[in-house]
A and B are shown apart, each in its own frame.
Chain A
Amino acid sequence: MARLLVRTALANLRSRPLQTSLVALILAAASATLALSVSLRAGAADPYEKIARATNAADVHVVGRGNLAALARAPGVKAAEGPFRLVGVRVRSRPSNFNVALEGVGARPPRIDRPKLTDGRWLSGAVGEVVLDRRTARDRGVHVGQRLTILLPDRRATLTVVGIAVSAGQDRSWASEGTVAALPSGDDPLGRVLELQLADRNASGAFVDDVRRRYPPDQLNAYDWVDDRQEVTDRTATSSVVLGSASLAALLAVGFIIANAIGGRILASRRDIGLLKAAGFTPGGVTALFVVENLVVAGAASIVGTAVGIALSPLLLEPTASLLGTGTPSGLRAVTVAAGVLGVIAVVCLFTALPAWRAGRLGVLEAIALGRTSVSTKPSRAARAAAALHFPPAVVLGVKDAFASRSRAAMTIASLALTMGTVIMALGTEATYRRVIQDSSLRAKPYELLVGTNEVSPARTRALLAAQSAKVSGTATVAGTTASVPASPVDVWARAVGGDYQRRPYAVRDGRMITGPGEAIVGRGLLDALHLRVGDRLPLEAAGTRLDLRIVGRYVEPDNDGRTAIFDRRSVPAAALARFGPVQYELQLRDRSDAHAVQAALVRTSAGQFDVEATEDGVRQERSDLRPVLYGTDALLLAIGLVNLLTTLLLGIRERVRDFAIFKVVGLTPRQVLASVTSGGTLLSSVAVVGGIAIGLPVFHALVTVTNPSDGPDLVTSPTWWWVVLMFPGALLFTTLASLLPARRAAAIKPAEALRYE
Chain B
Amino acid sequence: MEHVLVTTGLERTYETDGIAVAALRGVDLAVAEGEFVSVMGPSGCGKSTLLHLLGGLDRPTAGEVHLGGRRVDQLSEAAWAQLRRRQVGFVFQFFNLIANLTIADNVELPGLLAGLSPREARSRRRELLDDLGIAQLAGSVPSRVSGGQQQRVAIARALINRPAVLLADEPTGNLDSQSAREVLGLMRRHHEHGQTIVLVTHDARVASAADRVIHMRDGLISEETLLSGDRDPGALASQMLRLEV
Contacts and interface: CB of A to CB of B under 8 A. Distances in A.
Do A and B pair up? The answer is yes
Interface of A: 369, 372-373, 375-377, 379-380, 387, 393, 400-401, 404, 658-659, 661-672, 750-752, 755-756, 758
Given A665-B57, A669-B78, A752-B58, A400 B94 contact: no
Contacts of A668: 81, 113
Contacts of A658: 96
Given A400-B101, A752-B57, A667 B96 contact: no
Looking at B48, B102, B118, B143, the one whose CB has the most chain A CB atoms below 10 A away is B143
A666 B143 contact: no
B143 A377 contact: yes
A667 B94 contact: no
A662 B112 contact: no
A665 B84 contact: yes
A749 to B, nearest CB: 11
B109 interface: yes
Given A393-B112, A755-B94, A758-B94, A669 B81 contact: yes
B239 interface: no
Given A665-B57, A758-B94, A659 B81 contact: no
B141 A377 contact: yes
A373 B143 contact: yes
Contacts of B110: 666-667
A404 B141 CA distance: 13
Main secondary structure of the interface of B (DSSP, over half): helix
A755 B143 CA distance: 18
Contacts of B81: 664, 667-670, 672
B87 to A, nearest CB: 10
A662 B96 contact: yes
A509 B85 CA distance: 69
Q: Chain B interface residue count: which class? A: 20 to 34
Nearest to A666: B110
Contacts of B157: 666
B98 interface: yes
Listed from nearest, the 9 A-B pairs whose CB atoms lie closest are A667-B85, A669-B78, A669-B81, A377-B141, A752-B58, A752-B52, A375-B100, A752-B57, A751-B57
Contacts of B94: 755, 758
B92 A755 contact: yes
Given A393-B113, A666-B113, 5 more contacts: A372-B99, A377-B141, A664-B81, A667-B84, A669-B77
Interface of B: 48-49, 52, 55, 57-58, 77-78, 81-82, 84-85, 90, 92, 94, 96-102, 105, 109-110, 112-114, 118, 141, 143-144, 157
Given A670-B77, A670-B81, A379 B102 contact: yes
B54 to A, nearest CB: 12
A667 B77 contact: no
B100 A393 contact: no
A376 B77 CA distance: 30
A325 to B, nearest CB: 59
Contacts of B118: 387
B101 A755 contact: no
Residue among A668, A750, A758 facing the most chain B CB atoms (10 A cut-off): A668
A439 B191 CA distance: 83
A400 B57 contact: no
A658 B105 CA distance: 17
Contacts of B100: 375-377, 380, 400-401, 404, 659
A751 B97 CA distance: 14
A400 B105 CA distance: 12
B58 A393 contact: no
A671 B157 CA distance: 22
Contacts of B113: 393, 666-668
B109 A393 contact: yes
A373 B98 CA distance: 10
A372 B100 CA distance: 11
Contacts of A376: 100
Contacts of B55: 665
A380 B77 CA distance: 29
B92 A669 contact: no
Scoring B55, B57, B84 by chain A CB atoms within 10 A of each residue's CB, the highest score goes to: B57
Nearest to B174: A758
Contacts of A380: 100
Nearest to B140: A377
A659 B97 CA distance: 8
